Amino acid sequence: MTDLRASTNRTALPLFDAADDAFAAHYAEHGFALLADALTREEVAALNADALRLCRGDYGEIASGGIPEGAEPAADLTDEEVLRRYLCIHYPHKVSPAAREALRAPRIVDALVAVIGPNVKAMQSMLFIKSEGKPGQAWHQDEYFIPTRDRSLTAAWIALDDATVENGCLWVLPGSQRRGVIYPARDQDDPRFDCSSEAYDFPYTDDQSVPVEVPAGTALIFNGYLLHRSLENSGRHGYRRALANHYMSAESLLPWQPPGPGEHMAIADHRDIVLVAGEDPYAWKGIIDVATPGSRPDKDGGCDR
């Protein structure tokens, strides 16, 4: 078994050209795998263009989680000023054609099928802008926030700029998914991180983590139990844009919201989803469309707790 946690040097991680057996084996062992050229240069450019449209309100109003009341209208700001307002916008696929297409990008879907199975659905997307000075997110596991019945939650984190340590790339704790344990979380006041909680009391240390430095268009596919974090963008200028989509087996229920009328917790199944591969065994339940784009607070002005 390869130990990728031996040091925090910046040796490049394995980058796979295809979602083959070696890709799946690396994912199973370490909890993640990198897919080269998951999106084309043109697809990356389209997503970055739509990021600006989203921030300008061209696709409708974004529920604000960090812009102060009475702030200057977006129409009066430069493109850079508009983008720097936002750390992360949730559910861009609801309104952005480019984000919707990326949810079903063929190479990413191939990777998901390789590690999840033939039937795959998506339930969330997040568009990170993260200009210089913006914070990262403390250690966490995605399954803490999005529970699946079969532990199949899988993220596709797609770099829309070259991701480096300086501009706030992701860091992962390889193999931390193997125990299958959801660690406790608590509020944190570290200025390096946004308002999200932090996982703690896990048997790993920061110096066992490795940075995921990748070129734009690369996808990091990782397990919902993998511990990961990002630090602030400490670069002198520019962004660290990324699109993070969340998927799971379509064969599993998604108890992400409280049970609806006539349901109990064991059969709760959130149906605001997008099928991206195979068949939906629960298609008879129908699909709902309730989530709308919203902005994540970045600690400017404090956190609403």
Range of the structural domain that residue 185 is part of: 15-295
Residue whose token pair is 């992400």: 256
Q: In 3-state terms, what secondary structure has residue 158? A: strand
Q: What is the full per-residue pLDDT of the chain (305 aa) written as tens digits?
A: 555 654 445 567 999 999 999 999 999 999 999 999 999 999 999 999 999 999 999 999 888 765 666 678 888 899 999 998 898 999 999 999 999 999 999 999 999 999 999 999 999 999 999 999 899 999 999 999 999 999 999 999 999 999 999 999 999 999 999 999 999 999 999 999 988 899 999 999 999 999 999 999 999 999 999 999 999 999 777 899 999 999 999 999 999 999 988 889 999 999 999 999 999 999 999 999 999 999 987 766 556 54
Looking at the domain assignment, is residue 140 inside a domain? Answer: yes
Q: How far apart are CA 108 and CA 43, in angstroms?
A: 13
Please report the DSSP string for 244-270 in residue order.
Answer: EEEEEETTS----S---TT--GGG---
State how many domains the chain has. 1
CB 295 within 8 A of CB 89: yes
Task: Supply the pLDDT for residue 6.
Answer: 46
pTM of the model: 0.93
Looking at the domain assignment, is residue 82 inside a domain? Answer: yes
Please name which of 76, 79, 74 lies closest in space to residue 57, comparing C-alpha atoms: 74
**Which CATH number do you get for residue 40?**
2.60.120.620
Please name which of 155, 157, 152, 158 lies closest in space to residue 119, comparing C-alpha atoms: 152
Looking at the domain assignment, is residue 2 inside a domain? Answer: no
